[in-house]
Structure 1
């Protein structure tokens, strides 16, 4: 159960809650030490004079719940009525079309039939003329296709019956027939919980966690400067670093603040605790389930005009970004000895269902099959169009080249400098030639452009030889988004052209920055959305972001990056329009 702090013990930061070192926590769900009466006098047992007791609050809450239920039922009745009318109009339209009428005249006649039925329910004059009676006689006397009429009527009756059952069920239990947990609890309790959840979502107060800095606080996220929020240290593990076989991922409960480079973690295991909990993970909590549903269903289609307006609406973009779940992986999923040396950041981990699995002679050795990378879908749901991965470390350069060879990748896109205040990525390529994991990597040529450099490699393993291009984008400023959109857009278009020239048997395009989620997410989203804009004439940036985060948590990592993607797409649409006019 998540407990929330009283506002007096929260520090005034935008999105996180810290415990001040000089204060004890006051829990909101814990009764106060001294309950007070209306006038401030301490309450004593047996004093019924106070009017501010719980009964009044309960009555007010019950009244609010009742109004909410009635309102919800009225809305649903309208929806069911609309469904009924649509089903009947569609059925009779099919009937009249089969009878030899034109499509448009069939629609008019179907509306006349509905008009006839409404005459029995509502005391009003016919809307579509007085000849509905004549039309109904024709329908009744028709024998050849009367099964369509009977079927339409049956569907209408079924909708009415289901509607009544659904309404009764919803009034009784507070949720519909298809809602989860409809049979548990009373209607009042469920509606109260709905109202409470709604208030909490509006208040946007995150769950309380005690916090500690990660050892990679500055470059956990690519853009934001280190916030000046004091952190209460609850203790550190002073164990020295051992060899890879003895290292394990520290069990932590992860809570990421979107758009910052702070990892808020709470060590839930005391020093010396050895309880294994990386295996047999528990099912998703209701909150996680709702996050998954949002990521699967979130959508906001933008026409060109809407896109240009939306790109300038910072407030709406911020609201949309912060409402979209990040879908980070709980470190409990990867409780394997020695795995810490395989990850650049201990809280940025690959989502399990889509992670890249390296082939190994010993499939039972998890470490030899692991790399911090995920397959991502491309435009139109194309499977494994991209691989998003972290910038290789000294320990994972060999794994990286194994992945490049295994996946037959023709292109690598690198969007980070080797160092930005500290190391962002290891220099995993040679000056001339080098061999990693039996793969010989040879530099063929290096071309320097304004905003990126292009290296062409030859990879050779055994008798097989392949060509590989690496686009190294160096114009992304440290801890910021680019001031101008054209350079990134030009890189996206150049990579698309190179991809079209690659052999048909080629595998995914590999994209990485440092953590493999921020700048990487911007590039992949822009590439997908440019194709959508050219093909469909619209873009759905929210849908693309949700799909990317389903496959790799945290893609498009900050609100500034989300806004930047909108700006890039707005510019691209103007370019397309200008080209079309010419």
Structure 2
């Protein structure tokens, strides 16, 4: 490894006199003890030696950190470049990853924010080029081990750059430590340049989600910054997306607690007050303005829950993803004869509908093998007439358990029987009868399979058709029916898009305008992370724009 020292140190001072003159006592460098005639290696005073070694060790550690960070930044930049991002956005995302990993190692809040970092990891884990990231981390670890081994070896073996000054009485010459190729001041300048890379201003309303670039218009440059969120590793899967953010003993500072910090209070206020009403003309224009939509999405807080709020033994078996948890104030509580938190817990939230309608929807995760019984308990308890399922059972790994039978099955005393199965172009419809305690109910399940995880459908019309079909079925349901259950895998991305589209289509029909931002904020107040990615947020705008054109065309006819 390069050997660093200052350009002028206690260990590198030459005699001011001509070297040809006699060497007198006291002319040698400080800390050198002259031995008797014939002695070849007089020893440096111990205090001076240890100060020198300490300085070299500190410099070596600093240089090791710089080399490792540079190697990781370069590798991450290449990773995002290969993944289809432009060079600037690739560098921005690379710095987000570096910030995320440093936050894990040093236990501090990442500059870009915890929630946004976690969601960056979700996107990273889904890409087909994930091996580039793994190779980069491997190279970084190898560099770190090599450079630390070199440093330890140099300190222990007394390499030339650490060797003491030697006075040779017979030759009347003074030997000094070999100088490095550049000085301390030059290294400090290089470090300053590294620290100046891509400074990101922080605001009290720093958003808390997903990956992306810091896309800013001139008017909005002072208010926007991007903060990654969320890692979402699936429980029970043999395919881990990335790191485990909430293992035992984790001290990750989420910034939540019994009392909200000013930043969290500001986020809550934003979600309560955020609004941007769009007329049809503005909606069509806005749907094509990707830059403004990205800016609006990244400015909107995600409102994820601190996993520490659910520190109950055994609860991990009831969550598909460790960091996607129900917000406490709106979570569905299962009725149980046992006074046990686990028996009453399900990862689901009540969501408001159009016009603030209470408990219009229930957003939940895709049931796991461990929670199928809880899911049917919720369906029966809440008198749900409809289930909208927007995920395949497997997408690279398991996304949802097959919680329904081919014919008949009983869960938690509830008999579930399949009556009919109808296959449409983009979804299938199952009609069930549920029987419990002598009471019989009818349940419809719409299973939409044309929507890939973390992305958007290839076509918008089928989704609009499903939204309208579900609305008609909801109107035909008995008056005593409860919320509509919507779920994907985590219950926030595709689920959020579907519910938001349903609410906004109704608003467009009734009011002639839409407020997509306000609806998104309301959904996130009830369940964190609803509408999971910027791509999905843009897709909602495109769908609403298409729907408005359909309405206008119908009115003209």
TM-score bracket, normalised by the shorter chain, equals 0.5 to 0.7
Provide the TM-score with structure 1 as the length reference.
Answer: 0.59
Distance 2:267 2:524 in 1: 11
* Contact preservation (8 Å) 1:225, 1:479: no
- The yes-or-no answer on 1:487 pairing with 2:466 is no
> SS state of the match for residue 349, structure 2?
strand
Tell me the alpha carbon deviations over residues 459-503 of structure 1, each in whole angstroms, 9 at most, x when there is no partner: 000110000000000111355311211000000000000000000
| CA drift at 1:548 | 0.2
Matched with 1:17 is: 96
Q: Give the equivalent residue in structure 2 for 1:476.
A: 451
Partner of 2:161: none
CA contact (8 A) 1:492 1:527 kept: yes
CA distance in structure 1 between the aligned counterparts of 2:288 and 2:246, rounded to whole angstroms:
46
Note if contact 2:271-2:522 (Cα within 8 Å) is conserved in structure 1: yes
Distance in 2, matches of 1:446 and 1:571, equals: 30
Question: Structure 1 residues 405 and 465, CA, compared in 2 at 3 Å: closer, same or farther?
Answer: same
- Alpha-carbon distance, 1:227 to partner: 8.8
Q: How far, CA to CA, are the matches of 1:511 and 1:370 in structure 2?
A: 18
What is the deviation of 1:263?
Answer: 1.5
Identify which of 322, 326, 342 aligns with 1:346: 322
Following TM superposition, by how much is the alpha carbon of 1:229 offset from its aligned partner in structure 2, in angstroms?
3.9
Distance in 2 (CA, whole Å) between partners of 1:547 and 1:283 is 21
Q: How does 1:199-238 map to 2 (within 5 A)?
A: 206-207=112-113, 228-229=132-133
1:373 and 1:487, CA in 2 relative to 1: closer, same or farther beyond 3 A? same
CA RMSD of aligned residues (A): 4.0
Rounded Cα–Cα distance in structure 1 between residues aligned with 2:347 and 2:103:
40
Tell me the residue number matched to 2:264: 288
Instruction: For residues 336-391 of structure 1, give each alpha carbon's deviation from its aligned partner in whole angstroms, at most 9, with x where no partner exists.
Output: 000000000001000000000000001x3000000000000000000000000000
Give deviations 1:507-527, integer Å, cap 9, x for gaps.
000000000000000000000
2:407 maps to which residue?
432
Cα distance in 2, alignment partners of residues 345 and 484 from structure 1 = 28
Asked if the contact 1:256–1:262 (Cα under 8 Å) also holds between the matched residues in 2, the reply is yes
Counterpart residue number, 1:130: none
Structure 1's consecutive aligned runs of 4 or more residues displaced over 6 angstroms after TM superposition are: 5-10, 20-27, 208-214, 218-221, 264-273
2:456 touches 2:539 (CA, 8 Å); kept in 1?
yes
Q: How many Å apart are 1:439 and its aligned residue?
A: 0.1
**Residues 461 and 322 (structure 1 numbering): CA distance in 2 closer, same or farther, change over 3 Å?**
same
Q: Distance in 2 between matches of 1:571 and 1:206?
A: 35
Indicate the SS of the match to 1:444: strand
Report SS of the residue matched to 2:96. coil
8 Å CA contact 2:320, 2:490 repeated in 1: yes
Instruction: Give the deviation of 1:217 after TM superposition.
Output: 5.4
Say if 1:540 and 1:367 are closer, same or farther in 2 by CA, change over 3 A. same
Question: 2:210 corresponds to which residue?
Answer: 257
Cα offset for 1:281?
Answer: 3.9
Distance 2:249 2:465 in 1: 53
Q: Does 1:396 align with 2:371?
A: yes
2:275 is equivalent to residue 299 of structure 1: yes
**How many pairs are equivalent?**
379
For the 8 Å contact 2:407–2:418, the answer to whether it is kept is: yes
1:361 matched to which residue of 2? Answer: 337
Does residue 529 of the first structure (1) align with residue 435 of the second (2)? no
TM-score, reference length from structure 2: 0.61
- Kept in 2, the 8 Å contact 1:6–1:25? The answer is no
Q: Is the 8 A contact 1:329 1:553 kept in 2?
A: yes
Unaligned runs of 5+ in 2: 1-64, 78-90, 142-206, 213-227, 233-241
Within 5 Å, which residues of 2 pair with 1:107-118?
none
* Contact 1:258/1:557 (8 A) holds in 2: no
